[in-house]
């Protein structure tokens, strides 16, 4: 690498905290290595320098891990984000929500699925309007109906990271009992359960026939247009198999009143 190449690399590294750390490490390690090779130092000093070269990367690794765990938001500059507003406003809770939503999306789309991190960040930022509006406690409480709740762990964690409480139900009967005893801001239901292949609609119809107008969302394996249309015709507020769509629909519903 020529001098001009090194200068360009140094300038690019100096644009954010991570790059500055990397540049500092390269310079320190380079100077120490040159001193070890070129200088005629006493054996005791040579031994100290050798220990330094061996232990320095280990210390850097532990410091880097500490920074990532404790101060991850400070390791990037605004230019590292496609939307620099995300850098300004993302808090620890927002970052957690975005991370869980990204994992849920990756799980459903597979390792080769395209995940739009910028879109996820925008969704999370918008969702935090819910906190600023300070709705009643019941508006911040979801009932999630699914007989295999472990399938939705990351989706639930994304909601919980923005301050939404979730109660889990595994059957239509249990869900109806819960709604009769507690008011919820919204209900999310799968479609097929042990009780039947269209149990999501069974629950929806039972709720509506009993006069419950709680916003209802289907989160199932299909995202076909005819299934989304059928859900709306039956009185649901939405139907999807996409974690990001679900997150957006539910948080907007909760913010609407």
- Clarify whether residues 144 and 237 are in a common domain: yes
- Clarify whether residues 128 and 238 are in a common domain: yes
CA distance 194 to 93: 35
CA 202: distance to chain centroid? Answer: 32
The pLDDT score that the predictor gives to residue 112 is: 43
CA dihedral 143, 149, 151, 153 (to 10 degrees): 70
The pLDDT score that the predictor gives to residue 88 is: 46
The pLDDT score that the predictor gives to residue 176 is: 98
Mean pLDDT of 194-216: 96
User: Is 87 domain-assigned?
Assistant: no
257 versus 156: the higher-pLDDT residue is: 156
The pLDDT score that the predictor gives to residue 69 is: 59
- Clarify whether residues 71 and 140 are in a common domain: no
- Clarify whether residues 230 and 155 are in a common domain: yes
The pLDDT score that the predictor gives to residue 133 is: 64
The pLDDT score that the predictor gives to residue 244 is: 92
The pLDDT score that the predictor gives to residue 38 is: 66
Residue 178 in this model has a pLDDT that exceeds 70: yes
User: Is 101 domain-assigned?
Assistant: no
The pLDDT score that the predictor gives to residue 111 is: 41
What is the distance between the terminal CA atoms of the chain, rounded to a whole angstrom?
61
Mean pLDDT of 127-133: 65
Match 């995940």 to its residue by tokens. 115
- Clarify whether residues 23 and 72 are in a common domain: yes
- Clarify whether residues 228 and 130 are in a common domain: yes
User: Is 236 domain-assigned?
Assistant: yes
CATH at 222? 3.40.50.2300
155 versus 116: the higher-pLDDT residue is: 155
The pLDDT score that the predictor gives to residue 106 is: 79
Residue 124 in this model has a pLDDT that exceeds 60: yes
The pLDDT score that the predictor gives to residue 59 is: 79
* Tens digit of each residue's pLDDT (9 = 90 or more) over 53-70: 778 777 777 776 676 556
Tokens encoding 70 = 């404790």
160 versus 135: the higher-pLDDT residue is: 160
Helices (H), the chain: 3-13, 17-38, 43-70, 84-89, 92-109, 117-127, 129-133, 153-161, 172-181, 199-209, 225-233, 243-255
Domain count, the chain: 2
The percentage of residues in the chain with a pLDDT greater than 70, rounded to a whole number, is 70
> Positive or negative, the Cα torsion across 189, 194, 198, 202?
negative
What does the chain come to in residues? 257
The pLDDT score that the predictor gives to residue 49 is: 74
User: Is 106 domain-assigned?
Assistant: no
R_g over Cα of the chain? 26
Q: How confident is the model at residue 150 (pLDDT cuts 50, 70, 90)?
A: very high
Average pLDDT, the chain: 80
User: Is 139 domain-assigned?
Assistant: yes
The pLDDT score that the predictor gives to residue 73 is: 54
42-47: long-range pairs with CB below 8 Å, 24+: none
The percentage of residues in the chain with a pLDDT greater than 90, rounded to a whole number, is 41
Residue 99 in this model has a pLDDT that exceeds 70: yes
Question: Which range marks the domain in which residue 54 is found?
Answer: 3-78
Q: How confident is the model at residue 96 (pLDDT cuts 50, 70, 90)?
A: confident
User: Is 102 domain-assigned?
Assistant: no
- Clarify whether residues 132 and 203 are in a common domain: yes
User: Is 83 domain-assigned?
Assistant: no
User: Is 126 domain-assigned?
Assistant: yes
Please answer whether residues 253 and 223 qualify as being in contact, where contact means their C-beta atoms are separated by less than 8 angstroms.
Answer: no
Q: How confident is the model at residue 109 (pLDDT cuts 50, 70, 90)?
A: low
């Amino acid at each position: 690498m020529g001098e001009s190449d090194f200068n360009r690399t140094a300038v690019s590294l100096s644009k954010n905290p991570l790059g500055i750390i990397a540049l500092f490490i390269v310079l320190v390690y380079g100077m120490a290595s040159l001193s070890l090779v070129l200088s005629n130092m006493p054996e005791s000093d040579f031994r100290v320098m050798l220990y330094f070269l061996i232990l320095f990367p280990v210390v850097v690794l532990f410091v880097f891990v500490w920074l990532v765990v404790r101060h991850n938001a400070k390791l990037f500059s605004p230019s590292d984000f496609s939307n620099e507003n995300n850098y300004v406003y993302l808090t620890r809770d927002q970052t957690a929500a975005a991370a869980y939503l990204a994992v849920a999306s990756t799980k459903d789309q597979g390792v080769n699925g395209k995940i739009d991190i910028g879109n996820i960040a925008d969704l999370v930022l918008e969702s935090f309007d819910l906190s600023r509006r300070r709705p009643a406690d019941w508006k911040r409480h979801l009932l999630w109906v699914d007989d295999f709740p472990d399938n939705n762990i990351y989706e639930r964690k994304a909601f919980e990271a923005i301050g939404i409480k979730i109660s889990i139900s595994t059957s239509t009967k249990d869900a109806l009992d819960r709604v009769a005893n507690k008011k919820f801001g919204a209900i999310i239901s799968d479609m097929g359960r042990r009780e039947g292949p269209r149990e999501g609609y069974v629950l929806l119809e039972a709720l509506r026939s009993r006069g419950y107008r709680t916003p209802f969302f289907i989160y199932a394996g299909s995202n076909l247009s005819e299934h989304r249309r059928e859900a709306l015709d039956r009185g649901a507020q939405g139907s999807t198999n996409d974690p990001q769509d679900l997150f957006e629909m539910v948080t907007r519903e909760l913010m609407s009143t």
